[in-house]
Amino acid sequence: MEYSKADLENVRRIELEILQEIMRICNAHSIPYFAVGGTALGAVRHNGFIPWDDDIDIGMMREDYEKFLEVARTDLNSEYDLVHYSTYEDHPVYFAKIKKKGTLFVEKGVNKLKIPKGIFVDIMPYDYCPSNPKKQRQFVRKTIFLNNLFVTKTTSISTFERNKVKRFVKTVIRKVLHCILLAVPKRYLYKKLDTHLKKYSQGPREYVCQNKFMNTITRFDNIFPTSTHVFEGLEISMPGNQDAFLRGYFGNYMQLPPENKRITHSPELLKY
């Protein structure tokens, strides 16, 4: 479905509510967090959402992320759901989401899954990775491979590919792989990915990355100590070296992308 102006405004309004709940828990339990992806870019370039964007992404270092998951089980306001593999086995992605109860934001491929399907904010764990560029590439390639297995175990739909031909090809491949993975326990795939991501938890503590993309690799000291920036009237935590962090992620981040690259999540069902 295509957003109306009112739809987009209401999705963003609820995401900001969720963000404030995440910030409340982080402040109460001294858990560091930082804006990542389009949220960090939007803060710097627009002091809020990128004009066509419809989501909020938050990053946490692994130890902080796991502490957040632990305290959120009991401290999260009853208006929200903590959605993670450990709370909902059908959750199709590795990272956690906080979702607003009483809303619907149904992405492609998740309609039949036994999970809450509300409007959400993503919370991404960041892990240490090798300092050597060749080992970094090897680490990320294996991460992407294991992550794809984990996602495909639950859903065969390619949810993030916008090109129709590529989406069709990826969906066919995923359907075949999904059938092959039917005999493999999801717990096993989660453990393999989780163990791999924590491989460098004892060092070297120089570079960190997310679980999905090569362009998320950045120096630890580009993030910490964190700084702050205004985002839709809220003062949120940001990577300390905002310029280096965003250039690694987006390149020339102050230049607007062409219109055909300005995409949203485009839910199949929306209720707010």
Q: What is the pLDDT of residues 12-52, one digit of tens each?
A: 999 999 999 999 999 999 999 999 999 999 999 999 999 99
Q: Is 129 helix (H, G, I), strand (E, B) or coil?
A: strand
What local confidence, expressed as pLDDT, does residue 179 receive?
Answer: 93
By the 8 A CB rule, do 150 and 94 touch? yes
Total residue length of the chain:
272
Helix axis angle for 37-46 and 242-250, nearest 10°, is 120
Q: Is 101 helix (H, G, I), strand (E, B) or coil?
A: coil
What local confidence, expressed as pLDDT, does residue 24 receive?
Answer: 98
Q: Is 207 helix (H, G, I), strand (E, B) or coil?
A: strand
Q: How far is CA 98 from CA 102, 116, 117, 174, 192, in A?
A: 13, 10, 10, 27, 24
Handedness of CA 4, 10, 11, 13 (dihedral sign): positive
pLDDT in tens, 189-214: 999 999 999 999 988 889 999 986 66
Tell me how many degrees the CA angle 37-146-109 measures, rounded to the nearest 5: 70
- CA nearest neighbour of 119 among 132, 129, 106: 106
What local confidence, expressed as pLDDT, does residue 160 receive?
Answer: 58
What local confidence, expressed as pLDDT, does residue 215 receive?
Answer: 74
What local confidence, expressed as pLDDT, does residue 263 receive?
Answer: 80
> Residue 88, Cβ neighbours under 10 Å: how many?
16
Tokens 């900001």 belong to residue: 16
pTM of the entire predicted model: 0.93
What local confidence, expressed as pLDDT, does residue 167 receive?
Answer: 73
d(CA 26, CA 32): 7
3-state helix, strand, coil in the chain (%, to 5): 45, 15, 40
What local confidence, expressed as pLDDT, does residue 159 receive?
Answer: 55
What local confidence, expressed as pLDDT, does residue 211 receive?
Answer: 80
Tell how strand 120-129 and strand 207-209 pair up.
Answer: antiparallel
Q: Is 138 helix (H, G, I), strand (E, B) or coil?
A: helix
Give me the amino acid identity at 187.
R
d(CA 55, CA 263): 11
What local confidence, expressed as pLDDT, does residue 204 receive?
Answer: 83
- The kind and range of the H/E element at 70 are helix 62-75
Give, for all 272 residues of the chain, the pLDDT tens digit.
778 999 999 999 999 999 999 999 999 999 999 999 999 999 999 999 999 999 999 999 999 999 999 999 999 999 999 999 999 999 999 999 999 999 999 988 888 999 999 999 999 999 999 999 999 999 999 999 999 999 999 987 765 566 678 778 888 888 899 999 999 999 999 999 999 999 999 888 899 999 866 678 999 999 999 999 999 999 999 999 999 999 999 999 999 998 888 888 778 899 99
Query: How many domains does the chain divide into?
Result: 1
Range of the structural domain that residue 103 is part of: 5-271
d(CA 241, CA 248): 11
d(CA 111, CA 105): 10
